[in-house]
Chains A and B, each alone.
Chain A
Amino acid sequence: MFRVLALLSRRRGRGRAALSVAGIALGVALGYAVFLVNRAAVEDLAASVRLLAGEASLQVRGGRAGFSETLYPQIARLPGVAWVNPGLELDAGIAGTERTLRIIGLDALRLGKPELLVPDKVLLSPAAASLGQKRLRLVVGTRIVELQVEGISELKGFAALTDISTAQWRLERLGELNRLDVHLARGADRERVAESIRALLPPGVQVASTEALEQASGYPSRAYRVNLNVLAMVALFTGGFLVFSAQALEAARRRGEHALLRVLGLTARGLSRLMLLETAVLGLAGGVLGVALGYALALAAVRYAGADLGAGQFRGLAPQLSVSALSMLLYVVAGVLVAVAGALLPALDAARTPPARALKAGDDQRLFQRVSRAWPGIAFILAGVVLAQFGPVAGLPLFGYASIACLLVGSIAVMPRVSQVVFAAVPLSSRPWMALAISQLRGAPGQAAVSLASIVAGFSLMTAMAIMVASFRDSVDRWLHRVLPADVYFRTTYAGDTGYLDPAMEAKIRALPQAARVQFLRSGRIALDPARPPLSLLARDYAEGTFPLMSERYARQPGDPPLVWVSEAVADLYGFEPGKRVELPLEGKRFSLVVGGVFRDYARQHGAVLMERADYVALTGDRRVNDGAIWARPGVAPAEIMAALRALPGGAELEIAPPAEIRDDSLALFDRSFAVTYGMEAIAVLVGLFGLSSSLGAIVLARRREFGMLRHLGLTRAQIRTMLAAEGGLLALLGAAAGLAVGAAISLVLVYVVNRQSFNWSIELHPPYALLLSLMVLLVALAVVTAIVSGREAMGMGPVRAVREDW
Chain B
Amino acid sequence: MKRRAFLGLAGLPFAAWAAKVDYPRVVPGYRLTFPRDHGAHPDFRTEWWYVTGWLEDRLGFQITFFRARPPEESDNPSRFNPRQILFAHAALSDPQRGRLVHEERAARAGFSLAYAATDRTDVRIDDWSLALEGNRYQARIAARGFEFDFSFLASQLVLQGDAGFSRKGYRPEEASYYYSRPHLEVAGKLNGKAVSGSAWLDHEWSSAYLAPEASGWDWCGINLAGGGSLMAFRMRGKSGGTYYAPPGVSMKPLRTWRSPRTGVEYPVSMQVNDLRLEPLMDDQELDARLTAGTIYWEGAVRAYRENNMVGKGYLELTGYWKPMKL
Residues of A within 8 A of B142 (CB): 82, 185-186
Q: How far is the CA of A168 from the CA of B81 in the complex (A)?
A: 10
Q: Which A residues are in CB contact (< 8 Å) with B293?
A: 114
Question: Counting CB contacts under 8 A, is A443 at the interface?
Answer: no
Instruction: Of the listed stretches A117-125, A366-374, A688-696, name the one at the interface; the rest are far from the partner chain.
Output: A117-125
Minimum Cβ distance to chain A for residue B65 (Å): 14
- Is A110 among interface residues, defined by CB-CB distance under 8 A? yes
Residues on the A chain within 8 Å of B16, using CB: 118-120, 148
Flag if B127 contacts A185 (CB, 8 Å). Answer: yes
One of A138-146, A221-229, A284-292, A742-750 at the interface: A138-146
Cβ-closest chain A residue relative to B293:
A114
**B18 contacts A by Cβ under 8 Å:** yes
Q: Is the CB of A166 within 8 A of B76?
A: yes
Interface string of B113-126 (1 = CB under 8 A from A): 10000000000011
Are B14 and A143 in touch, CB under 8 angstroms? yes
Interface residue B144 (Cβ < 8 Å from any Cβ of A): yes
- Residues of chain B within 8 A of A110, CB atoms compared: 106-107
In the complex, residue of chain A having the shortest beta-carbon distance to the beta carbon of B127: A82
In this complex, which of A76, A145, A146 has the most chain B Cβ atoms within 10 angstroms of its Cβ? A76
B295 contacts chain A at the CB level, 8 A cutoff? no
- From known contacts A83-B127, A143-B14, infer whether A107 and B80 are also in contact, taking CB-CB under 8 Å: yes
Residue of B nearest to A147 (CB): B16
Report Cα–Cα, A72/B107, bound state, in Å. Answer: 13
Across the interface, do B106 and A112 meet the contact criterion of CB distance under 8 Å?
A: yes
Question: Least Cβ distance of B190 to chain A in Å?
Answer: 14
Please, which residues of chain A bring their CB within 8 A of the CB of B127? 82-83, 185
Q: Is there an interface contact between B70 and A117, defined as CB atoms closer than 8 Å? A: yes
Q: Select from chain A the residue with minimum beta-carbon distance to B105.
A: A83
* Given A110-B107, A118-B72: A165 touches B78 (CB 8 Å cut-off): yes
Which residue from B74, B81, B87, B113 sits with its C-beta under 8 Å from A109? B87
Contacts of B78 in A (CB 8 A): 164-165, 168-169, 174
A13 within 8 A of B: no
Interface residues of B in 61-77 (CB under 8 A from A): 70, 72, 74, 76-77
Q: Mark B278-297, 1 if CB is under 8 A from A, else 0.
A: 00000000000111010000
Contact B147 A164 (CB under 8 A): no
For residue A116, which residue of chain B has the nearest CB? B82
Minimum CB–CB distance from B243 to chain A (whole Å) comes to 26
Q: Which residue of A lies closest to B77 (CB)?
A: A174
Tell whether, in the assembled complex, residue B87 and residue A186 are in contact, meaning their CB atoms are under 8 Å apart: no
A704 to B18, CA, bound (A): 93
Question: How many angstroms between the C-alpha atoms of A146 and B15 in the bound complex?
Answer: 7
The residue on A at minimum CB distance from B292 is A114
In A118-174, which residues have CB < 8 Å from any B CB?
118-120, 143-146, 148, 163-166, 168-170, 174
- A residues in contact with B105, CB < 8 Å: 83
On whether the beta carbons of B79 and A69 are closer than 8 Å, the reply is yes
What is the CB-to-nearest-CB distance from A623 to chain B, in angstroms, rounded to a whole number? Answer: 23
Whether A175 sits at the interface, judged by CB under 8 Å, is yes
Q: Which listed residue (B14, B74, B144, B290) contacts A144, Cβ 8 A?
A: B14
Chain B, residues 78-118, CB within 8 Å of chain A (1/0): the string is: 11111001010000000000000000011110011100000
Rounded to whole angstroms, the CA-CA distance of A108 and B284 in the bound complex is 28
Give the tally of cross-chain contacts (CB within 8 A).
89
| B125 partner residues in chain A, CB cutoff 8 A | 83
Q: Contact: B111 with A72, CB < 8 Å?
A: yes
- A174 to B127, alpha carbons, bound, how many Å? 26
Query: A83-B105, A119-B76, A146-B14 known; A163 and B82 CB under 8 Å?
Result: yes
Query: Please, which residues of chain A bring their CB within 8 A of the CB of B17?
Result: 119
A117 and B14 contact, CB distance less than 8 A: no
Question: Which of B15, B85, B126, B291 touches A117 (beta carbons < 8 Å)?
Answer: B85
B107 partner, pick from A107, A145, A146, beta carbons under 8 A:
A107
Residue of B with least CB distance to A176: B78
CB-based contact A109/B76 at 8 Å: no
**Separation of A110 and B107 alpha carbons in the complex (Å):** 6
- Please give me the residue from chain B that is nearest to A166 by CB atom: B76
- Residue of B at shortest CB range from A112? B290
Contact, CB under 8 Å: A109 / B108: yes
Tell yes or no: A354 within 8 A of B by CB.
Answer: no
* Bound-state Cα–Cα, A69 to B18, Å: 24
C-alpha gap A110/B104 in the complex (Å): 10
Chain A residues within an 8 Å CB radius of B85: 109, 117
Which chain A positions have C-beta within 8 A of B112?
73
Which residue of chain B has the shortest Cβ distance to A177 in the bound complex?
Answer: B80
B293 to chain A, nearest CB (A): 7
- Contacts A114-B293, A118-B18, A119-B16; is A168 near B106 (CB within 8 Å)? no
Least distance between A662 CB and chain B CB atoms (Å): 31
Minimal Cβ-Cβ distance residue in A for B12: A146
Which of chain A's residues has its CB closest to B290's CB? A112
B 155-179 to A, binary, CB cutoff 8 A, 1 in contact else 0: 0000000000000000000000000
* A-contact bits for B4-29, CB 8 A (1 contact / 0 none): 00000000001111100000000000
Given known A-B contacts A82-B142, A83-B105, A109-B107, A168 and B80 have beta carbons under 8 A apart: yes
Q: Which residues of B contact A145 (CB under 8 A)?
A: 14
Whole-angstrom distance between the alpha carbons of A163 and B106 in the complex?
A: 14
Contact A186 B147 (CB under 8 A): yes
Interface pair B106/A119, CB less than 8 Å apart? no
A86 is an interface residue with CB less than 8 A from chain B: yes
| A164 CA / B108 CA spacing, docked (Å) | 11
**Separation in Å of the B31 CB from the closest CB of chain A?**
34
Given contacts A109-B85, A163-B80, contact A119 B18 (CB under 8 A): yes
Residues of the A chain whose Cβ atoms lie less than 8 Å from the Cβ of B107: 83, 107, 109-110
Q: Which of A91-119 contact B (CB under 8 A)?
A: 107, 109-110, 112, 114, 117-119
Are B126 and A76 in contact, with the CB atoms below 8 A? Answer: yes
Q: Which B240-277 residues have C-beta < 8 A from chain A?
A: none
Do the beta carbons of B144 and A186 come within 8 Å of each other?
yes
Give min CB distance, B74 to chain A, whole Å. 4
A83 touches B126 (CB 8 A): yes
CA distance A693 to B111 in the complex (A): 77
Name the residue on B nearest A105 (C-beta).
B80
Q: A73-B112, A76-B126 are in contact. Are A175 and B147 (CB under 8 A)?
A: no
Distance from B45 Cβ to chain A, minimum over Cβ atoms (Å):
15
Within 8 A of A (CB), among B38-56: none
A residues less than 8 Å from B74 (CB atoms): 119, 165
Q: Say whether B80 contacts A86, CB under 8 Å.
A: yes
Residues of A close to B113: CB separation below 8 A: 72-73, 76-77, 83
Q: Which residues of B contact A84 (CB under 8 A)?
A: 126
Among A84, A109, A112, the most chain B Cβ lie within 10 Å of the Cβ of A109
CB pair A165–B76 under 8 Å, yes or no, is yes
CA distance A164 to B107 in the complex (A): 12
Instruction: Let me know if B77 and A169 touch, CB within 8 A.
Output: yes
- Which of B72, B81, B87, B147 meets A165, CB within 8 Å? B81
- Rounded to whole angstroms, the CA-CA distance of A168 and B113 in the bound complex is 19
Contacts of B79 in A (CB 8 A): 69, 175
Instruction: Give min CB distance, B129 to chain A, whole Å.
Output: 13
CB distance from A184 to the nearest CB of B (A): 10
Question: B125: nearest residue on chain A (CB-CB)?
Answer: A83
| Complex contacts, B18 vs chain A, CB 8 Å | 118-119
Within 8 Å CB of B72, what residues of A?
118-119
Which A residues, 350 to 405, have Cβ-Cβ distances below 8 Å to chain B?
none
User: A72-B111, A110-B107 given as contacts; is B290 within 8 A of A165 (CB)?
Assistant: no
Q: Which 4 A-B pairs have the closest CB atoms?
A: A112-B290, A165-B80, A120-B16, A83-B126
13 more A-B residue pairs beyond the given contacts A73-B112, A82-B127, A174-B77, with a C-beta to C-beta distance below 8 A: A77-B113, A107-B107, A109-B87, A109-B108, A117-B70, A117-B82, A119-B76, A146-B14, A146-B15, A166-B76, A169-B78, A186-B143, A186-B144
Chain B residues proximal to chain A, CB less than 8 Å: 14-18, 70, 72, 74, 76-82, 85, 87, 105-108, 111-113, 125-127, 142-144, 147, 289-291, 293
Q: List 17 A-B contacts (CB under 8 A).
A: A72-B113, A83-B125, A83-B126, A83-B127, A109-B106, A109-B107, A109-B291, A110-B107, A112-B289, A114-B293, A119-B18, A143-B14, A165-B80, A165-B82, A165-B108, A169-B78, A186-B144
